[in-house]
A and B are shown apart, each in its own frame.
Chain A
Amino acid sequence: MAIRRIHVRNFKSFKDAEIQLSPLTVLLGANASGKTNLVHLFRFLRDISRWGLEDAVYRQGGVDYLLNRHIGTKEPLEVDVEADTCWTNLINHDKGAHDFRAERVRYAFAVQFSRDGKMLVLRDDLQLVIRWFVIEPQRKPEIHPQGQFYLTLRRDAEHRIEIDAPFGRDLPLTLAQFLRVVPVDGIVGMTDIPFNPSMLHQRVKEDSLLIETDSGVIKGMFRPFLLPFAYAGVHDFQPNRIRQACKNASGVILEEDGSNLSMVLRGVLSNPEKARKLRNLLSVFVRHIEDVRIVSMGDGSLGWEVDESFESKEVLPAPYLSDGVAQIVALLVVLYFSEKRFAQVLVIEEPDRHIYPYFIERLVATLQEASAERQVIITTHNPEVVRHVPLESLRLVSRDQHGFSSVSEPASSEHVQNFLKDELGVDFLFAKDLLSA
């Protein structure tokens, strides 16, 4: 599951920008170009799907810090996102079954803020692109593709819920029959929600998004959208925090700054197979580290330490490790050992920070390998990263003469292609600020 495209208006330094995302996306740009604001956008979407719009706005520092400073409350904040999904809905009938598979999901909303902090939702549309198959119950079941249709859930001008889909017209099912078994967890039959027709046309709050509603059916329909966003891991690792001992923290989801690494590491190291894998991956970067261990501290917290393979065979507690080693351990844990349901999309600020240039090629290889399993989006200022990443993965964030940020793809720039023909490397173009020429 991956986010394909985001279109945003009036968000921080963005007036109106669109970004296409690939399994591995590398955000480049000068200081203050807007890279981190894009990271904030992922955080904002994640917070909306976890905590709701009001709290997400608060977590961004309030309306003043959320909206573009030049535009402010004169225009609404608009977000339009498209993502892959793998939601299925299997409905049995007398002669077989209908298999509905949502493969794309699009969610768009617009919110008008007022100066006194009030919010009015102007647009709130969820659209699923669903492919329909009929399964005939032979000894070896036959699957017959029937085409695709759109299922749209939206609020009207009166803030009432509308559903638009060809049920009862082109499809031999009623909407009620279809919605009767909307799978809440993306797994058919896990939770069937009783459909209540009164849910349609009910009035929803003007200042909250449909995604926040308590209605089980709507929640079920939003599930494909929620999965990549609610479980996006956004990280900006801080070596001092990574090295520290901790207690009373999550042992499953790594914190943004990596401060609960020892708790998450405990889970990884308690599984012999995962522990072996971690040692192998670590040795790709730091050959002299033979083992990683969790240690109980006197105050009940957990710390971690490593064994070095030099002649002295030293045991080094985490606080004595270099920034780079701490960063590598945190990166490997989040890239390879995060539970997929909790980190379908990983957004990492400057993963190359503190890492020796010689190892950057290996870092990029691990990012690429990890991106086959989950979407990885990183920011960087490092030409070595740019050198080893496929050109198609690069996105350049820059500011125009008015100070608005935009995102471009160097791979589709004629100037860049001409430079490359002249044997200039992309890393050189980036270092000389020629990617946006």
Chain B
Amino acid sequence: MNSVWIFSLPRTCLAHEMAYRECFFLVEGFTDQLFLQHVILPALAGKYDHIEQPRTYQGDRPTDRRGLFRSWSRRGNIYVLADRNPSPCISAAKERLRRGFDNAHVEHCTIIVVPEIEAWYAAGIGSQFCQQHNITIPTDTSHLDKNAFAKLLQKANLSLDLDFRMEILKQYDLMLARTRNASLDYFCQRIGL
């Protein structure tokens, strides 16, 4: 047991002395989580010493949310994806989110307000996918909402939302997506991509 304890101590020290870099993501729902797992985490490989699997905070009790936030903020960078709805603007959305966490630790995190995660999904749909499913993606997807995404799903002749998302993620083109969606590009810049 002692050897384990001794071994674990230098690792903690390393985190401070050799800038052991950790990265954490908090997202609202599981479709955001799927997006990060399939698109962002593979792209981040090698840029951090440890990347925690994205966690959802929807439905969490505020005390649990604050506890997790406090704990992570001692270890590394936290990126929080926040849904803009129902806030009228980005600053209001950030403020709403801050209220749900512990204000004392908010300076350790980067809050990215996403108008609709569906806009990020659609942004990475390449021409081959479009041809295959007879759909068109606008050059700027910033204003693409859930309804527009549902119409794409219908047009693509795929009956299930989850199936559609998984098909998109399998062929996702992140470079293309960044040119089509400003908030995704901003998010990628902030996390070092």
B50 to chain A, nearest CB (A): 18
Find out whether the CB atom of B162 lies under 8 angstroms from the CB atom of A423: no
Hey, what's the 0/1 contact readout for A310-336 against B, CB within 8 Å counting as 1? Answer: 000000000000000000000000001
Cβ contact within 8 Å between A425 and B61: yes
Q: From known contacts A281-B163, A281-B166, A336-B160, infer whether A425 and B59 are also in contact, taking CB-CB under 8 Å.
A: yes
Q: A284-B34, A336-B160, A365-B30 are in contact. Are A423 and B61 (CB under 8 A)?
A: yes
Residues of B within 8 A of A424 (CB): 61
Q: Does B161 interact with chain A (Cβ within 8 Å)?
A: yes
Q: Which of A389-435 contact B (CB under 8 A)?
A: 423-425, 427-428
* CB–CB B160/A362 < 8 A: no
B139-167 toward A: CB 8 Å interface, digit per residue (1/0)? 00000000000000000000011110011
Q: Is the CB of A428 within 8 A of B160?
A: no
Q: How many A-B residue pairs have CB under 8 A?
A: 43
Distance, CA A281 to CA B59, complexed state (A): 23
Whether A361 and B160, one on each chain, are in contact in the complex, defined by CB atoms closer than 8 angstroms, is: no
Q: Are A280 and B162 in contact (CB under 8 A)?
A: yes
Chain A 31-73 interface residues, beta-carbon cutoff 8 Å to B = none
Q: Is B56 an interface residue (CB 8 A)?
A: yes
B166 touches A283 (CB 8 A): yes
Question: In the complex, how many angstroms separate the beta carbon of B29 from the nearest chain A beta carbon?
Answer: 8
Would you call B62 an interface residue if the criterion is a C-beta within 8 Å of the partner chain's C-beta atoms?
yes
- Say whether A369 faces chain B, with CB atoms less than 8 Å apart: yes
Chain A: minimal CB distance from B162 (Å): 6
Please report the C-alpha to C-alpha distance between residue A277 and residue B167 in the assembled complex, in whole angstroms: 9
Contacts of B37 in A (CB 8 A): 287
Contacts A277-B160, A362-B30, A369-B161; A284 near B166 (Cβ below 8 A): yes
Give the A-binding residues of B (Cβ under 8 A): 29-31, 34, 37, 56, 58-63, 160-163, 166-167, 170
23 residue pairs of the A-B complex, CB under 8 angstroms, read A276-B163, A280-B163, A281-B160, A281-B162, A281-B166, A283-B166, A284-B166, A287-B37, A336-B160, A361-B29, A361-B30, A361-B59, A362-B30, A365-B30, A365-B31, A366-B162, A387-B59, A423-B61, A423-B63, A424-B61, A425-B60, A427-B59, A428-B61
List 16 additional A-B contacts (Cβ < 8 Å) besides A276-B163, A365-B31, A388-B59: A277-B160, A281-B160, A281-B163, A281-B166, A284-B34, A284-B166, A365-B162, A366-B162, A369-B160, A387-B59, A388-B58, A423-B63, A425-B59, A425-B61, A427-B59, A428-B61
A interface list, Cβ under 8 A from B: 276-277, 280-281, 283-284, 287, 336, 361-362, 365-366, 369, 387-388, 423-425, 427-428
